[in-house]
Structure 1
Amino acid sequence: MFSRFIASLVVFSSALLFAGKTLADNLAADTWHQIDSANFRIVTNGDPNAVRSLAEDLERYRAVALNLLGANDDGAKLTIYAAADRESYAGLVGEDLSELTNGLFDTTSEGSYALVNLDGRTGERQLEAREFLFHEYTHFLSYNGTTTHYPYWYSEGFAEFMSTMSFGPGREYRIGAIPGERAMTLLYTAPVPLQELLRATVHNTPDEEKGRVYASGWMLAHWIVMKSGKTEEFKQFVKDYNNGADPVEALSKNLGMSIGEIEKVYNEQFQSGSFAMARGEVPANFKSVRPKVKVMSGQQTVVELARFMVKSGYNIDGLKALVKYAESNNVYTPELTAVRADAATRAGDFDSAVHLLARVAPSDRNNFWYQKAQAWLWLNREISSFGGDRSKKMLKKARDKFVQLVNNHSEEAMNWYGLAITMEMLGYPKKQYVEMLEQAYLRAPRELHIAQWMAQELYNQKDAEYFAEVAQPLMLELTNEAEYNQMKNMLAELKPSTGDKAKIQGNAMVKDNKRSSSGTAAKATP
């Protein structure tokens, strides 16, 4: 049901074979810690003292990055799953993905999270883990709560540029260092030809070539940020790119250079191998606070890991092994039953989900984890029925459940989305359920199904300005050719007037303000 945006650190390694117990067994048997700082929640089976030190660096990095990027601080706390080693990482994402990545970032209708392998590819654990975390958090700052898209090469190249930030004495930081892994990639394979790099996407780049895109993107991003003197012009390029402009033509136009001139600079950087560094100071208002560390119980560990597997969908086969482990080690809980019911609902096995939720004692049914699993079971079961077979009684019960979820957990887009779907199926006036849909969109503008539905409703309303704001970035997410062409034709039909185009950026700011003002105070009373 839920799509994802994935930004990952790509590696190339030989296949790894894990013997003995299943990966999920090994994960659950480890000691896991939760490390809480002001803006991060880190769940890890690594060395808690080392990870706490990383959390302190992350807080400093965040303060600098917000300042450098001019990003909004919406107070969102990011959950990071920090796996101690390659085996643990594979237990979370599956063996195939563990061979291709060392870190992942996902944004979903249930919130954003990052995942990182602390062990990296060498023995320098602390250094590599810091770089991986800085890389993934750059994605979070770049994409959280916004529909702005960056070209693949810049998204990854800039994250690599930021990843090598280091801290000196006092409040000093340094930026611009060469990422060792990317330097080796460039030396052994050579940079990607410029026009090919500019048109690269995560979908048209083979896995074996992604390392070159990261490395070449870092080199070009480094020049733009540190030497070009054209950072403001580059911002206009990003706007044009988001409005559908050809990336090669748009970069040349905005930088005021021919592609040949840009390629010359690009290649000269590679030949010289010289990359400038800059120094600065951590903002004076930053106050370092020692993160809190607590050991997670066996029960908490199993539920946390199980919920991650279901939400991410990376290694869903590991759920069965986790359940067996919990049963045999006396750490099984009612909440794990609800997680299993959620997994069954997503798989369309509604009978199993019903039986599982029936096992949860009435005294536990007021918990959020139960209410959410039940609401989505009721709704999805009715969605799978057709016409007269749908039960209005059950839909009304689902509606009431979603109202309760929205009013108590309004930060989750998924709750608003479920309420919007239920209200539409019950025949509510369009204006009422679209208001609920918009609240979901404002909280998760990159969730594909939410954005597609929002775009369709705006198209039906002939709201050219708002439709363009939603549809333009959505087109950069669509990989289905038919869906892409349909959205392109809809945009052409409702093309905003010149005056409307000038308003779109301001309209986006209004929507951002509407989101922040709705916040936890937003209430649903259909």
Structure 2
Amino acid sequence: MMKTVFKLFAAVILLSNQALYADDEWHELISDHFILRTDTNLEKAKETIEKLEKYRFTIGAITNADLSADYSPPLVVYAFEKTKRFRRVFGITGGTAGFYIPFEDGAISMLTLEEGDETWSLDGLRVLFHEYSHHILHQYSPLQYPRWYDEGFGEYLAMTDFDGDKVIIGRPAVHRFPNLKSPGSWLKLETLLQSKGEYIGAIGGATSRKRLKTKNYIFQQYSQGWLTTHFFQSSDKYQKKLNAYLQGINRPGSDIDKEFKKAFGKSYAKMDKEIKRYWYNRELPSYVIDLKGQIPEIEYKVRKLNEHEVKIMEPEARYLAGGSAEEIADHIKVFEEALSNDVRPADLNLYLAELALRSKDWDKAEHYINILLAEKSDHAPALTLKTELMKRGKQLKELAKDQQKAVRKATITALKADQTYVPGLMAYARLFMEEGTKVTDNALDVMETVRFLVPDVDSAKILQVRMLAKAGKVADAKAHAQKLIDWASSSRQRKRYEDLLEEVEEKATLTASAN
């Protein structure tokens, strides 16, 4: 009964919000690397997408990453003019100004463009800058970054500003100051650095370190991570030593304490004092890079959304952010109505095909997939969904031999249609995990491509380890699993990877016994 009441209440809220935003004006701006949908004014929308493209170029310039080889789909961004609306749409009650989620088929970001009332408030664009730095660095760097530096460097870059062709790097992350105002409550530098890949404290319902159970330590980790990164990046003395340290702790079996001493030539306590002195003196220098003549001309298309498309902005944003199972029926209704008004048929037919598969409505799924393929015969997402449709919710081994053969053929067709479409690559790779199927070198190469394209997707990390083990490359599988364990972000994630390693070892033992 409670659930029914909630649903009725939600429906009332939905209707009232539709009336409230009846005069909505949304625009879609599409550049080479971003799709921005926003209800802010057009001038600010243009400024936002130009900043995003400039920021992407800047990250490449200062990290020497060759972004010309970026095969990722454009990042889809929903930018709400008002924080209140942003939080209502996603059911956010805290101080969150934005979020970013990497999915197999591409990343999505939702944010507010409204600046906070307080000096230390964080706006959504800064959040996206922070997360996008992870997107680039995790993909192009061969190194695993310790959590303090990964988040600290993200905060450091998030404060980037632009003045024409000039880029200002290193401005203070004022929103982190409240956590730094009392150095007596800081984490010890030793604790900060030894956390390696972990978030310190409780995050996502898991506790990484039992002795640090308060969630405040996560904020402390971000804040001190930013300050420590700022300290190192601003020091000619320590920049090269920092790089040596990061490379050192990435060597298999390395001792994090010994690598610190080796790289910096001093104790944690002495370095801690230097960083605190840096904070007390409020040095925090920023620097300017003149990129005149280097930044390519930023081109983008602008489209004002019609009234029918405006109506789907909120539900589409929720759906793309991973909408819940309870919302499936509502999403189907909204998208079908929009499709009847000719709103973005390519996108909506795809959404409806996905929703039909989730609902096990095979006839509808086939209907929408066929529409997509009639329009574009090599539509990789539709071809990949077709392979799922052919299985009708069953495992491949449960199908008849001729059906299995047809699924394999369809999966290869989907792969050939777009060799950068990750769900298609993953579907192909999973074929080799079927009983009686040999894992080929080509299949392992496909998984390497997947790991490059989506370095932070957990399912891809685990599949790669299992494929290596099944291919008989047990040492490589164990090394990959151990690396995942070493750099796990929480105790829960570490346990999952430890179980994976145990699985690899058990299967290797069974194989050896059988032989």
How does the TM-score come out when normalised to structure 2? 0.76
Superposition pairs for residues 353-392 of structure 1, below 5 Å?
354-360=362-368, 362-366=370-374, 367=376, 368=379, 370-379=382-391, 381-383=393-395, 389-392=398-401
CA–CA distance in structure 2, aligned partners of residues 247 and 253 of structure 1: 10
Superposition pairs for residues 438-453 of structure 1, below 5 Å?
438-453=448-463
Match of 1:230, SS state, is helix
Match of 2:86 in 1: 89
Match of 2:235 in 1: 227
After superposition, the Cα gap between the structure-2 partners of 1:69 and 1:43, relative to the gap in structure 1 and judged at 3 Å, is: same
Match of 1:521 in 2: none
After superposition, the Cα gap between the structure-2 partners of 1:360 and 1:27, relative to the gap in structure 1 and judged at 3 Å, is: farther
Aligned length: 467
Match of 2:509 in 1: none
Match of 1:150 in 2: 145
CA–CA distance in structure 1, aligned partners of residues 130 and 479 of structure 2: 28
Match of 1:393 in 2: 402
Q: Does 1:266 align with 2:278?
A: no
Match of 2:41 in 1: 47
Gaps of 5+ in 1: 1-16, 494-526
Contact 1:50 1:126 in 2 (8 A): no
Matched residue type, 1:65? I
Q: Does 1:122 align with 2:135?
A: no
Which string of whole-angstrom CA distances, capped at 9 and with x for unpartnered residues, describes residues 378-407 of structure 1? 347122x8x5x4233333333333223222
CA–CA distance in structure 1, aligned partners of residues 436 and 311 of structure 2: 41
Match of 1:484 in 2: 497
Matched residue type, 1:236? A
Which string of whole-angstrom CA distances, capped at 9 and with x for unpartnered residues, describes residues 172-214 of structure 1? 3322221221123322785333233224423744544433222
Give identity over the alignment, percent.
Answer: 17
Query: Could you tell me how far 1:259 is from its partner in structure 2?
Result: 0.6
After superposition, the Cα gap between the structure-2 partners of 1:485 and 1:249, relative to the gap in structure 1 and judged at 3 Å, is: farther
CA–CA distance in structure 1, aligned partners of residues 369 and 65 of structure 2: 45
Match of 2:288, SS state, is strand
Query: Could you tell me how far 1:56 is from its partner in structure 2?
Result: 1.7
After superposition, the Cα gap between the structure-2 partners of 1:259 and 1:321, relative to the gap in structure 1 and judged at 3 Å, is: same
After superposition, the Cα gap between the structure-2 partners of 1:61 and 1:269, relative to the gap in structure 1 and judged at 3 Å, is: same
Contact 1:379 1:422 in 2 (8 A): no
Matched residue type, 1:271? Y
After superposition, the Cα gap between the structure-2 partners of 1:317 and 1:210, relative to the gap in structure 1 and judged at 3 Å, is: farther
Q: CA RMSD in A?
A: 3.9
Query: Could you tell me how far 1:127 is from its partner in structure 2?
Result: 9.0
Q: Does 1:193 align with 2:188?
A: yes
CA–CA distance in structure 2, aligned partners of residues 400 and 307 of structure 1: 33
After superposition, the Cα gap between the structure-2 partners of 1:308 and 1:240, relative to the gap in structure 1 and judged at 3 Å, is: farther
Query: Could you tell me how far 1:411 is from its partner in structure 2?
Result: 1.2
Contact 1:441 1:450 in 2 (8 A): yes
Contact 2:77 2:110 in 1 (8 A): yes
After superposition, the Cα gap between the structure-2 partners of 1:246 and 1:312, relative to the gap in structure 1 and judged at 3 Å, is: farther
Which string of whole-angstrom CA distances, capped at 9 and with x for unpartnered residues, describes residues 421-442 of structure 1? 2354385432164454444344
CA–CA distance in structure 2, aligned partners of residues 26 and 313 of structure 1: 25
CA–CA distance in structure 2, aligned partners of residues 406 and 430 of structure 1: 17
Superposition pairs for residues 366-515 of structure 1, below 5 Å?
366=374, 367=376, 368=379, 370-379=382-391, 381-383=393-395, 389-422=398-431, 424-425=433-434, 427-431=436-440, 433-461=443-471, 463=473, 467=477, 470-471=480-481, 473-475=483-485, 476-477=487-488, 479-486=492-499
Match of 1:474, SS state, is helix
Matched residue type, 1:422? L
Query: Could you tell me how far 1:36 is from its partner in structure 2?
Result: 2.0
Match of 1:210 in 2: 218
Which string of whole-angstrom CA distances, capped at 9 and with x for unpartnered residues, describes residues 214-240 of structure 1? 221111110010026222322233234
Query: Could you tell me how far 1:60 is from its partner in structure 2?
Result: 2.5
Match of 1:21, SS state, is helix
Match of 2:420, SS state, is coil
Query: Could you tell me how far 1:317 is from its partner in structure 2?
Result: 4.5
Match of 1:179 in 2: 173
Matched residue type, 2:81? A
Superposition pairs for residues 43-122 of structure 1, below 5 Å?
43-73=37-67, 74-75=69-70, 76=72, 77-90=74-87, 94-96=90-92, 99-122=94-117
Matched residue type, 1:202? Y
Which string of whole-angstrom CA distances, capped at 9 and with x for unpartnered residues, describes residues 488-508 of structure 1? 679999xxxxxxxxxxxxxxx
Moved more, 467-476 or 250-259: 467-476
Match of 1:254 in 2: 263
Gaps of 5+ in 2: 1-9, 204-214, 507-515
Contact 1:412 1:443 in 2 (8 A): no
Contact 1:191 1:215 in 2 (8 A): no
